[in-house]
Amino acid sequence: MSATVPLQAWIDGVGFLAPGLPDWPSARAVLRGEQAIGSSAAVLQAPAVLPPAERRRASRVVKLALTIGLEAAAHAGTDIATLATVFAASGADGHNCHALCEQLASDDRQISPTRFHNSVHNAAAGYWGIATQSQAPCQVICAYDASFGAGLLDALGQVVVDRQPTLLIAYDSEYPEPLHSKRPLPDVAGIALLLTPEASARSLARVAVSLDDSAAEAMSDSALEALRATVPALRGLPLLDLLARSEAGSVSLDYLPPLQLRVDLHPC
Amino acid sequence: MTPQLISGYTATTCLGHGLDGTLAALRAGRSGLQPCVFETVRLDTWIGEVAAVDDQNLPEMLAAYDCRNNRLAALALETDGFAERVRAATARYGKRRIGVFVGTSTAGILQTELAYRRRDPVTGTLPADFNYRTTHNAFSLAEFTRAYFALEGPAFSVSTACSSSAKVFAAATRLLDCGVIDAAVVGGVDSLCLTTLYGFASLELTSTRPCRPYDATRDGISVAEGAAFALLERAPASLPAGAVLLLGAGESSDAYHMSAPHPEGHGARLAMEGALRSAGLDAADIDYINLHGTATPANDAAEGKAVAALFGDRVPCSSTKGATGHTLGAAGAVEAVICALALTHDLLPGSPGTATPDPAIPLAYLLSSHDQPIRRALSNSFGFGGSNCSLILGVAA
């Protein structure tokens, strides 16, 4: 076995969106106990970086992924046009999937070509590329409930091995019925982290990850714990909890039984 | 990048179950494509259907994963002694030290398509026996493969459309390089379903004849299914002759269009350049290129420009999709295995179905298979959303 290289990176920027938590500053304030979590459904806007035609047609999942990715990149002051990305999602566009399956079960199977190309798991990643003009590598991962951990592992691998800043965009979107009953995701939500191989004046914290079988941390606040437990992309909340409070510490993130991700965070 | 040993590999497509049938068909220039008679699909097109997928039984404890995609995965895992190699690696390294990284575009979505025909007429609910997690979800393939060998290491599926199972080789290499794992089961499985057959038809990207990659008269793809797996380990200091290595990987994005390639092949070129750089090789070091070559007018023109710009017309190249069809998310792994066969059997594969190479694309395009020793092969895989990946494989002397 070769020597183990620490899986570590600096966090230079954060993006966040969840029901009642429209962005990272509001999530940070809630995690710090400075304000209460809102009660509204997640609010989505089509990012201005999309070309007009794509902006008009952008689906919920595309709006979500682009919004949190752009927030993290802006927070870090990073040039999005050169940024490698890792998209991690437990599913693709649920509404589009439902419409396709419904039509394919009908007598008229002539599905729309736009619906078809939007059905790929990497649709949000494709629109990110069109919006940012980034030709950098773009990874798209699915690991069902373990998707946040899987995305974090691959993003850290790119930072450590390829020595390149990498933007992790972990996100999930709901299915409409009847799929919702089979996969009850409550709403859109996600976490984006801009990870870099070198510390800079922008760096918020250093994060190091190892695999073990420690019990995953829960959130002490019941509303936040409900989000962590029901949205796979928000399994990273305990890490954001430390980051929000600028506390050094160690938390275990839910990954793939029996493996969990032990995360050590050191604020800059 | 650190070269990785590809210590075991297997492929199952419409050419046959396993390496022997695949190699024999490639040598003979035989295609496995047939007119589409899949399920209730009524489309005037040809497809690559794997024989006897539905005869494959899953182990009883994995019955929840039962669907065409996982049957095809199990069929491939039990071919060419691949499962035994994984079990031997597990004994060597431990079940926590082996990762599973597999590519798929649609996983078992056929199961959902069929379930939508059986919705409750009153409530609209899906049937109780439909299991989203173990069939439809893109992770079902990785989870099934991990459970098949009772592995406990890291796992995920990569789903970047038709580059999915090329990119898993790069992802596995990163975690091998970090020491997170000691070996990885990588691969790709995609199976026939209505979404892709009607979807590619809606884009007018399917041919009414067997696909003809790089032909002057090419007019679309032949949708196919396939499964391929490889076992990656760190390469030891001394290698036996004939050992196959992953030497390099390059990934890029087109940043251009959801379903059309960049017309000049910019993203494709970046991926090939990235693979050469990661392998520490020059264009002159490559002996064979397995092209993405889907046989759509746009793909082959764009890829051809990028290959010609980097390699000129010196390097023999071909798309093997005239033989296998386009196995979509499995294509990267299937064609990596075809490169491994080419490297270990002194074979330059030809291009069944192609009669007249497009004179507008100045490449050394191989119409028929030749016997010729080669040392290094490059394989291209490009997907919807502008996701590109090139791999370089080599063989130890």
Q: In chain B, which residue's Cα lies nearest the Cα of A212?
A: B96
State the nearest Cα–Cα gap between A180 and chain B, in angstroms: 10
Distance CA B395, CA B246 (A): 9
Distance CA B231, CA A149 (A): 23
pLDDT at residue B182, rounded to an integer: 98
- Indicate which residue of B17, B136, B266, B292 is catalytic: B292
Domains and CATH numbers, chain A: 7-204 (3.40.47.10)
Cross-chain CB nearest to A5 (options B119, B140, B177): B177
State the nearest Cα–Cα gap between B164 and chain A, in angstroms: 9
Residue A2: pLDDT over 60:
no
Tell which of A61, A133, A142 to mutate to test the B interface (max B CBs under 10 Å): A142
Mean pLDDT of all residues in A119-145: 96
Place of tokens 């609209």: B124
Calculate what percentage of chain B has a pLDDT beyond 70.
100
Task: Say if A232 is an interface residue toward chain B (CB within 8 Å).
Answer: no
Residue B189 and residue B130 in contact, taking contact as beta carbons nearer than 8 Å: no
Yes or no, beta carbons of A135 and B158 under 8 Å apart = no
Counting one residue from A and one from B, how many pairs have CB atoms under 8 Å apart?
226
Give which of B283, B282, B288 is closest to B319, Cα–Cα: B288
Task: Say if A99 is an interface residue toward chain B (CB within 8 Å).
Answer: no
Tokens of B119: 């919705």
Yes or no, beta carbons of A110 and B198 under 8 Å apart = yes
Residue A112 and residue A99 in contact, taking contact as beta carbons nearer than 8 Å: no
pLDDT at residue A3, rounded to an integer: 54
Strand B46-47 with B34-35, pairing = antiparallel
DSSP string, chain A: -PPPPPEEEEEEEEEEEBTTB-SHHHHHHHHTTSSPPP-SPP-----TTS-HHHHHH--HHHHHHHHHHHHHHHHHT--GGG-EEEEEESSS-HHHHHHHHHHHTSS-----HHHHHHTSTTHHHHHHHHHH---S-EEEEE-GGGHHHHHHHHHHHHHHHH---EEEEEEE-PPPTTHHHHS---S-EEEEEEEESS--TT--EEEEEEEE-PPPPPPSSHHHHHHHHH-GGGGGHHHHHHHHTT--EEEEEEEETTEEEEEEEEE-
Task: Say if A173 is an interface residue toward chain B (CB within 8 Å).
Answer: no
Residue-wise pLDDT for A70-104, tens only, equals 999 999 999 999 999 999 999 999 999 999 999 99
Residue A61 and residue A123 in contact, taking contact as beta carbons nearer than 8 Å: yes
Q: In chain A, which residue's Cα lies nearest the Cα of B157?
A: A142
Annotation says B292 is catalytic: yes
Distance CA B347, CA B369 (A): 7
Residue B226 and residue B196 in contact, taking contact as beta carbons nearer than 8 Å: no
Residue-wise pLDDT for A3-49, tens only, equals 578 899 999 999 999 999 999 999 999 999 999 999 899 999 989 99
What ipTM does the predicted assembly reach? 0.98
Cis peptide bond upstream of B154, omega within 30 = no
Task: Say if A164 is an interface residue toward chain B (CB within 8 Å).
Answer: no
Task: Say if A59 is an interface residue toward chain B (CB within 8 Å).
Answer: no
Annotation says B136 is catalytic: no
Tell which of A139, A167, A185 to mutate to test the B interface (max B CBs under 10 Å): A139
Residue A53: pLDDT over 90:
no
Yes or no, beta carbons of B156 and A138 under 8 Å apart = no
What's phi and psi for B148, nearest 5 deg? -60, -35
B164 three-state secondary structure: helix
Mean pLDDT of all residues in A169-173: 98
Q: In chain A, which residue's Cα lies nearest the Cα of B203?
A: A113
Calculate what percentage of chain B has a pLDDT beyond 90.
99
Place of tokens 């290491």: B153
Task: Say if B258 is an interface residue toward chain A (CB within 8 Å).
Answer: yes
Yes or no, beta carbons of B179 and A2 under 8 Å apart = yes
Task: Say if B175 is an interface residue toward chain A (CB within 8 Å).
Answer: yes
pLDDT at residue A4, rounded to an integer: 74
Yes or no, beta carbons of B159 and A142 under 8 Å apart = yes
Q: Which residues 217-236 of chain B have a CB within 8 Å of chain A?
A: 234
Q: What's at A57, amino acid-wise?
A: R
B77 three-state secondary structure: helix
Contacts with A117 from chain B: Cβ below 8 Å: 199, 203, 258-259, 384-385
Provide the mean pLDDT of chain B: 97
Q: CA angle A197-A125-A127, nearest 5°?
A: 125
Cross-chain CB nearest to A100 (options B105, B195, B270): B195
State the nearest Cα–Cα gap between B281 and chain A, in angstroms: 17
Task: Say if B94 is an interface residue toward chain A (CB within 8 Å).
Answer: no
Yes or no, beta carbons of B385 and A125 under 8 Å apart = yes
Annotation says B266 is catalytic: no
Q: What string of pLDDT tens digits covers the 397 residues of chain B?
A: 999 999 999 999 999 999 999 999 999 999 999 999 999 999 999 999 999 999 999 999 999 999 999 999 999 999 999 999 999 999 999 999 999 999 999 999 999 999 999 999 999 999 999 999 999 999 999 999 999 999 999 999 999 999 999 999 999 999 999 999 999 999 999 999 999 999 999 999 999 999 999 999 999 999 999 999 999 999 999 999 999 999 999 999 999 998 899 999 999 999 999 999 999 999 999 999 999 999 999 999 999 999 999 999 999 999 999 999 999 999 999 999 999 999 999 999 999 999 999 999 999 999 999 999 999 999 999 999 999 999 999 999 8
